[in-house]
Structure 1
Amino acid sequence: MDENIKKIIPFARKYDFHIVWNIFFNVLYALFSTLSFVALFPLMEVLFKMNERVVALPKYEGILELGTYGKQYLQYYITKLSEENGPEYALLLTVSLVISTFLLKNVFNYAASQHLMKLKNGVLRDLREKMFNKIIDLPISYYSEKRKGDIMARMLGDVNEVQNSFFMVLELIIKEPLTIVFAILAMLKISLELTLFVFVFIPISGFIISKIGKSLKSKSQRAQKENGYLISVVEESLTGLKVVKSYNAEPFFKKTFIDSINRLLHLNNSIGKKNNLASPMSEFMGIVVIAILLWYGGSLVLVDKTLNGALFIVYLGLAYNILTPAKAISKASYQVKNGLAAAERVFEVLEVENTIEDKVDAVELQDFKNEINLKNINFSYGEEPVLKNFSLTIPKGKTVALVGQSGSGKSTIANLLTRFYDVKNGEILIDNHNIKDVTMKSLRDLTGLVTQDSIMFNGTIKDNIRLGNLEATNEEVINALKIANAYEFVKDLPSGIDTNIGDSGNKLSGGQKQRLSIARAVLKNPPIMILDEATSALDTESERLVQDALENMMQNRTSVVIAHRLSTIQKADKIVVMQKGEIVEQGTHEELLAKGGTYSKLVMMQSFE
């Protein structure tokens, strides 16, 4: 069994009820699919007056004689009806029998399809839920190496492909094979010689059809990977549309997109060609078998006279009845290959090891009481070290600012404090608890983060502010906006806090978005605040408003401020100057100016600018 089929089984087990009923109704469908053709035999016997006269009810003599018993039982009633009421009543009985078997066959097919639909849709929902939970839980480091578009393609396109193609396995192993088996059993009962003759040609047909779809799975994988790349190109182009247009880079991105869709066109055409060949090829091979049957069976009826003519017509109907499931099997087997390729990409994400998880015995941090200690930390994103033997103590209620040139490791400290990344060597302690030993929820409940990029979501101002406290009232939201100096512009908006701010907050200015992100942190009300260059992208007026908001927010809180503009951190209790991952100076603004070292030079450079 394919590994991906084994992996999908736990998802399907939740819907055992629907699987059992689907199998049950498929068995009945397959049985009545054969009986519907067998029922044609008494009809033709009545029409051509070939039926035997049976004047006594037959006796049941065991399951092995069930076919003979059924035939004689039916012939008894046909004989009785013909004698009592005339042949038209016998004809009516046999026509009703044919209609009833075809009706039941389709009723069972509908019932089986209903249960299969509920199984497929249920597993689709569960797979999407698990996939989304996984991509939300995976650490940020995972996405630094992956295209977001590819993850989206797996989440949406590949999971859909699993739903559409994968559960055809149930059709492949139950419905269609049983339809063929029941038909062949009836054919063997009618003519052993003719059926053995058919068996010579069926394996040849199957071999030819299987050759067509041999490379389908690998091509499907390549097509799905290309589809992920295509979504990435669209997503990146839309995200960076201002840059694309300002640099007149539209031709480059158009060419990248066209190259991708051309590769996808070639792959999809190749896959489609093989998929489209499956049905006509299997039907043609079936018709070839039927044609040979007509020749060979016709000679048994007309020349050898060893086969009843009416039975031969029923036999041909049964042989043709094999064609439909045979076509379905060949087509479904190709689609299952697509499903297997898609499932492989889905499970590739689901099975990624999460390197940043809570320990089994992780404890809850209830409160922050004393200090944060960073001890002898070494860290690198790749080979080049970003932090080297870094140690720092941040007492409760104090503001510590980290300054230095780009690449000195300032933002890395913010990533490590929030456990977006884990330290390689050394440890980070909050009240003597290693943050690796506490639950991430309790750690992040204690921290608030305001970054340079004010990340907003398409929704109302209220919804964006309440992310950290979903139970907050409108009054609490407005109070947070006032502390963040944001209510002055929010109150003038058409719908106030219920105003939609657009995709990524694109209806607002940079300064307005930044003040909203501060309001979000204020409403969360954590004891530890981390500000990662929160004013570096703002104009002077916006910076003043945001700086006032930050000072309001930092009152009575422990704050770690990562700053580019030194004018914003002059009131910090301690300023730590970093260079190439190491601390070169630390002290208050006045103390560091008096030293005339690195900090003093940075201040002079910014003053000159």
Structure 2
Amino acid sequence: MNYFKKILRYAIPYKAYAWLNIIANVFYALFGTLAFVSLIPMLKVLFDNSAKITEKPEYQGIFELGDYFENYLNYYTTMKIESSGEMNTLLIMIGLVISTFLLKNFFSYLAMFFITFLRNGVLKDLRNDLYKKTIDLPVSFYSEKRKGDTIARITSDVLEIQHSFLSILELIVREPLMILFTIIAMLAISAKLTVFVFIFIPVSGFIISRIGKSLKRHSDKVQQEQGFFLSILEETLGGLKIIKGFNAEKIFDDKFKASTTRFFNFSNTLLNRQNLGSPVSEFLGIVVIAILLWYGGSMVLVEKTLPPEAFIAYMGLAYNILTPAKAISKASYNVKKGNAAAERVLEILETESAIKDKPDALVKEDFSQQVSIENIAFKYDKEWVLNNFSLQIPKGHTVALVGQSGSGKSTIANLVTRFYDVDNGAIKIDGDNIKDITQKSLRGLLGLVTQDSILFNDTVKGNLLVAKETATDEEIIEALKVANAWEFVKELPQGILTNIGDSGGKLSGGQKQRLSIARAVLKNPPIMILDEATSALDTESERLVQEALENMMKNRTSIVIAHRLSTIQNADTIVVLSKGEIVEQGKHQELLDKAGVYYNLVEMQSFS
């Protein structure tokens, strides 16, 4: 139940609806009980079985409530028959029965009406918090998690919480109250018969609880498997060209089918166990009713201690307990099933971000001197990617990082942007450790262009507004011109208002990269990080993109991670890395003259 309590905190903003639901449920339970009690006077008139009482009975206390209730009904029926006749009295009694059932159903609707706002409000807030947490968590979190599993938690697991946990909110008040009021009415009719019936209820409850024991474990397997096949689907859509290009359709099809087969088996086990609950509880209820018929029948026919019309109403009340009892037993299964979903959702919500702002973090709004990387060391897992790495980048300088794959170039970009935190050493901007600066203001000083052009399924304008939400159309067009992108954007069917498709799929690689550069230009940050921005382009696209980059880097501090060495010949400093350490640094010609590692890299690319 701990998970249930944690989820319930999301109901606090909607507590007004909860109170209205409770009030409506109180009346629902009251009229639901009275609906069966109101059958007694009608049956008395119908069977002409009411004792003729002409004097109004006096209330003798709680222990004589049953006798008082029966005597008062007999008195009321006698008076009505004398004043209105038997048929008119019967019509009045029928009207009373209809009225109580009508009021019961009216308050049932009101209760559902109010709880709807609470359930959907909790669902909305839970999803919003999950999405916010998804954005807040560091990049490193998703290098260990499957994206599809995260999607499953935000979609199907949250829905499971609505169907399981939040359905309990409907039952917490309504069903227990219905049982309570019904028991009071049953005790009023016959305390002896009620005590006899309730000897068998704990036995039924024990059998039902045994069935629900393993539901959480089975439900957890179902939800994990759903996250797994959603991950396969997400990877398939992202890598469709590779799958088709390598004729790997069967490999992925088999992998997906294996997952859905496991899902099929887990779901069957879970649902069969869950579905067993309702028929078992109903059968046990009918057994109790059968015992009730036997024992109550003897009270009516043999002992003559219970009037037949009261016994008929009593039977209705006893069956009236079955529906809420079944609902409560089903709810207990749902709690166990929902526990697994809530655990998975809360795992994300309660994950502490490894990268957090300090309470007194500095809001840094400008850059005036230099970026200092001081003796840093970093490892993703066990092996050090960077070790004893130091570098000074004065304002206005362009520093290029080169080296073989795996030498640690892109890691530096991830550390400067604080997607990851250094294990040792410090990265400083104007002498301020970036760990002492708020993440928002740090990234406000940085522009990022990555090797993979990350664009969104939106218009050209929408993609650029990510960098500056308040930008005018004129500013957007100017940024596109600087990035050599305006020449193709103006030819698009709706110009900057043209949708570019999922991940910019309607554009070529060079066009996508130039839009990424335009986005960085629009942001106009003092420090630019270019992570192999031209490595995936053809020669013509590279030329246009390189021009765009040079336009953008004028009078700007830039960290360029380069794969193609031809693109960084004009850099103020070229830093050559090998296995996470600096092996050479200097200008292009200086390094060529040394005929060292950089020279060999240039020679290899020239030869290729």
Shorter-normalised TM range: over 0.9
SS in 1 for 2:164: helix
Q: 1:557 matched to which residue of 2?
A: 556
Structure 1 93/74 Cα, relative in aligned 2: closer, same or farther at 3 Å? farther
- Provide the secondary structure at the position in 1 that maps to 2:529: strand
* 1:130-162 CA distance string (max 9 Å, x none): 100001000000000000000000011101111
User: Match of 1:349, as an amino acid?
Assistant: I
Instruction: Establish whether residue 527 from structure 1 lines up as the match of residue 526 from structure 2.
Output: yes
1:2-41 alignment, distance < 5 Å: 2-41=1-40
Aligned pair 1:364/2:377, yes or no? no
Alignment of 1:262-277 (within 5 A): 262-277=261-276
Tell me if the contact between 1:172 and 1:333 (Cα under 8 Å) persists in the aligned partners.
no
Residue equivalent to 1:346: 345
Which residue identity lines up with residue 354 of structure 1 in the other structure?
A: S
C-alpha distance in 1 between matches for 2:313 and 2:564: 90
- Cα 1:187–1:63, aligned 2, differ >3 Å: closer, same or farther? closer
* Residue 428 (structure 1) aligns with: 427
Greater CA deviation, 579-588 or 74-83? 74-83
Q: How does 1:253-332 map to 2 (within 5 A)?
A: 253-332=252-331
Q: Which residue of 2 aligns with 1:451?
A: 450
**Cα offset, 1:295, TM superposition:** 1.8
Q: 2: CA distance between counterparts of 1:173 and 1:453? A: 52
Which residue number corresponds to residue 604 of structure 2?
605
- TM superposition shift of 1:10: 1.8
AA partner of residue 205 (structure 1): S
**Aligned residue for 1:493?**
492
Pairwise CA distance, 1:13? 1.7
**2:113 paired residue number:** 114
Percent identity at matched positions? Answer: 63
Contact 2:115 2:170 in 1 (8 A): no
Q: CA deviation at 1:66?
A: 5.9
2: CA distance, partners of 1:55 / 1:95: 22
Partner-residue secondary structure (3-state), 1:213: helix
How far apart are 1:188 and its partner, in Å?
2.0
What SS class does the counterpart of residue 400 from structure 1 fall into?
strand
Distance (Å, rounded) in 1 between the aligned partners of 2:590 and 2:157: 60
Aligned 8 A contact 1:168 1:336 in 2: no
Range with bigger deviation, 69-78 or 92-101: 69-78
Q: CA deviation at 1:172?
A: 4.2
1:249 has 2:231 as partner: no
Q: Please tell me whether the aligned partners of residues 450 and 531 of structure 1 are also in contact (alpha carbons under 8 angstroms).
A: yes
Give the Cα–Cα distance (whole angstroms) in 1 for the partners of residues 195 and 466 of structure 2: 71
Work out the CA distance in 2 between the residues paired with 1:475 and 1:170: 53
For residues 525-564 of structure 1, give each alpha carbon's deviation from its aligned partner in whole angstroms, at most 9, with x where no partner exists.
0010000000000000000000000000001100010001
Matched, 1:389 2:388: yes
Partners in 2 of 1:295 and 1:75 — Cα distance?
27
Q: What is the alpha-carbon distance in structure 2 between the residues aligned to residue 352 and residue 289 of structure 1?
A: 49
**How far did 1:438 drift?**
0.7
Query: 2:65–2:188: 8 Å Cα contact kept in structure 1?
Result: no
For 1:421 and 1:80, locate their aligned partners in 2 and report how far apart those are by CA, in whole Å: 86
- Structure 1 residue runs of 5 or longer lacking an equivalent are none
Q: How far is 1:499 from its partner?
A: 0.8
In the TM superposition, what whole-angstrom CA distance separates every residue of 1:67-115 from its partner, at most 9, and x where no partner exists?
Answer: 6555555544432332122111211221111111111111121111122
Structure 1 residues 96-245: aligned runs within 5 Å:
96-245=95-244
Give the whole-Å Cα distance in 2 for the aligned partners of 1:514 and 1:532: 12
Partner Cα separation in structure 2 for residue 146 and residue 426 of structure 1? 28
In 1, Cα distance between equivalents of 2:353 and 2:63: 60
Q: Which moved more, 1:321-330 or 1:513-522?
A: 321-330
Aligned pair in 2 of structure 1 residues 592, 520: CA closer, same or farther (>3 Å)? same
Q: CA deviation digits over 1:169-192, x for unaligned, max 9?
A: 334432212212222222222222
Partners of 2:444 and 2:69 lie apart in 1 by 75
Query: Given residue 412 of structure 2, which amino acid in structure 1 is its aligned partner?
Result: I
Which residue of the partner structure matches residue 511 of structure 1?
Answer: 510
Deviation at 1:205, TM superposition (A): 1.6
Q: Is the 8 A contact 1:402 1:575 kept in 2?
A: yes
What's the offset of the Cα at 1:63? Answer: 6.2
Asked if structure 1 preserves the Cα contact closer than 8 Å seen for 2:377 and 2:384, the reply is yes
Aligned-partner Cα distance in 1 for 2:129–2:456: 23
**1:23, 1:581 → 2: CA distance?**
64
Deviation track 1:489-518 (CA, whole Å, cap 9, x = no partner) reads: 111111111111111111111100000000
Q: RMSD of aligned C-alpha atoms?
A: 1.5
- Rounded to whole Å, the distance in 2 between the matches of 1:523 and 1:69 is 84
Which deviates the most, 298-307 or 339-348? 298-307
Cα distance in structure 1, aligned partners of 2:424 and 2:355: 15
Conserved 8 A contact 1:403-1:564? yes
Question: Where in structure 2 are the equivalents of 1:73-92 lying within 5 Å?
Answer: 73-92=72-91
Alpha carbons of 1:470 and 1:494: their partners in 2 closer, same or farther (altered >3 Å)?
same
Deviates more, 1:300-309 or 1:505-514: 300-309
User: 1: distance between equivalents of 2:299 and 2:565?
Assistant: 102
Q: Is the 8 A contact 1:486 1:512 kept in 2?
A: yes
TM-score by length of 2: 0.98
Aligned to 2:375: 376
Q: What SS does the aligned partner of 1:215 have?
A: helix
CA 290–61 in structure 1, closer or farther in 2 if over 3 Å, else same: closer
TM-superposed deviation, 1:267: 1.0
Give the SS at the match of 1:468: coil
> For 1:303 and 1:58, how far apart are their aligned partners in 2?
28
CA change 1:465–1:134 in 2 (3 A) is same
2:464 — aligned with what? 465
Q: Which amino acid aligns with 1:329?
A: I
Q: Within the alignment, does 1:580 sit opposite 2:579 as a pair?
A: yes
Q: Does the aligned pair in 2 maintain the 1:39–1:97 contact within 8 Å?
A: yes
CA distance in 1, matches of 2:53, 2:19: 41
Give 1:368 shift.
Answer: 0.3
Measured at CA, do residues 62 and 204 of structure 1 come closer, stay the same or move farther in structure 2, by a change above 3 Å? closer
Name the amino acid aligned to 2:396. G
Q: Distance in 2 between matches of 1:59 and 1:115?
A: 41
Tell me the distance in 1 between the aligned counterparts of 2:468 and 2:84: 84
Deviates further, 135-144 or 334-343: 334-343
| 190-199 vs 367-376, which moves further | 190-199
Whichever residue aligns with residue 258 of structure 1, its letter is K
Structure 2 CA distance for aligned equivalents of residues 69 and 309 of structure 1: 18
> Given residue 5 of structure 1, which amino acid in structure 2 is its aligned partner?
F
State the distance in 2 between where 1:540 and 1:198 align. Answer: 87
Q: From the superposition, tell whether residues 60 and 289 of structure 1 become closer, same or farther in structure 2 (CA, over 3 Å).
A: closer
Map 1:383-422 → 2, pairs under 5 A: 383-422=382-421
SS at match of 1:23: helix
Deviation at 1:59, TM superposition (A): 4.8
- The answer to whether the 8 Å contact 1:161/1:339 transfers is yes
User: Matched residue of 2:358: which SS?
Assistant: coil
2:566 aligned partner: 567
